[in-house]
A = this chain, B = another copy of it.
Amino acid sequence: MTTRAGRPATLEDVARLAGVSRSTASRVIAGTGFASTAARSRVTAAADQLGYVPDPAARALVRGAGVRLAVAVCGESQAVLDDPYVEQVVANAARVGGPYGLGVSLHWLPLAGSNALHRIAEDRGVRGVVLVNTTEPLLAALPRSLRGRVASLGVGSADVPSFDVDNGGGATQVLHHLYASGRRRIAMVAGPRWLPCTDRSARAYQRLSRDAGLPVRLLPGDFTAERGRAAAREAMRRWPDTDAIFAVSDPTALGVLAGLRGHGVEVPGDVAVAGFDDIPLAALTAPALTTASHPVGRIAAAAATALAEGARAAPITSFPSVLIPRESA
């Protein structure tokens, strides 16, 4: 072969083998512009004979497009990056990015005034940004240069398409399930105050409680198991007659389970417990956790695909959440 030994083939090699010019080969590979069927087949044949893979760097350079997707996570500390939810997002983005020649990098966005997102926007290496735990101030101050290449896993805006689970729907199903099984004094452990989706589920809870004439027992949370433990203690102290606790995150719900157990409270006998997310281990606890599904992987993959294809996504893509009834409620 005319390929230099040991080095991957270039477009030039493919063109030479196919007996056409670099330009024609490029048009065939990229699928843009004209090419005769003869040329087309000769080029594709040559390409896979040589095992040709376009160099994403060269491509990105000339197209001015950037070579990776940045996953940017808002949070109080850098520890949010260790969250299994975030890890799942990154892995799924990395999986869909590969075929497009895109890699994924992971960044922390401090909650209060920081120019971290601006630094990401300035980076020519960044093709698009996946926002996780998106806050409203952040969306308001979005760098202009990012317009059209951001996707939010959470709340969106006019400029930023949103890919999210139907929080309200999932919470409603869980609450209906609790009500249907006779629970009337339901406490809820919500998400962090600064996170907009907290509002969604909290509002669903407040509306349903008001409509059914039930008390509102709302506790702030942060999605961690530790917080669940504390919240369980707090709920039982403040409202000893509580007969159900709904935590909007499975780790928190498992923490609640542990906290109640420590207090000698029977689940689901004395108090029912429900979570949200359906993490794999929710099925393994004793009692197994009743929860609502949250297809994080599919959501992240959809957002990453939209960014990779550069297509303008629908303003809101909502993924359904379904109730997974198990033993704890």
Contacts and interface: CB of A to CB of B under 8 A. Distances in A.
Contacts of A103: 67-69, 94, 97, 102-105, 125
Contact of A125 (B101, B122, B254): B101
Contacts of A69: 103
Contacts of A14: none
A264 interface: no
Interface residues of A, number: 60
Contact of A258 (B51, B52, B145, B286): B286
A120 to B, nearest CB: 9
Interface string A50-72: 01110111101100001111110
B105 A97 contact: yes
Interface in A83-105: 84, 86-88, 90-91, 94-95, 97-98, 101-105
A78 to B, nearest CB: 9
Contact of A95 (B91, B106, B279): B106
B88 A94 contact: no
A75 interface: no
A281 interface: yes
A257 interface: yes
Interface in A158-209: none
Contacts of A106: 91, 94-95, 98
Interface in A277-322: 279-281, 283-286, 297
Given A6-B145, A61-B58, A123-B53, A281 B102 contact: no
A210 interface: no
Contact of A124 (B53, B94, B95): B53
Nearest to A60: B57
A237 interface: no
Nearest to A229: B284
Given A67-B68, A90-B87, A145-B6, A55 B124 contact: yes
Most B-side CB within 10 Å, residue of A124, A145, A285? A124
A251 B280 contact: yes
Given A91-B86, A254-B281, A144 B6 contact: yes
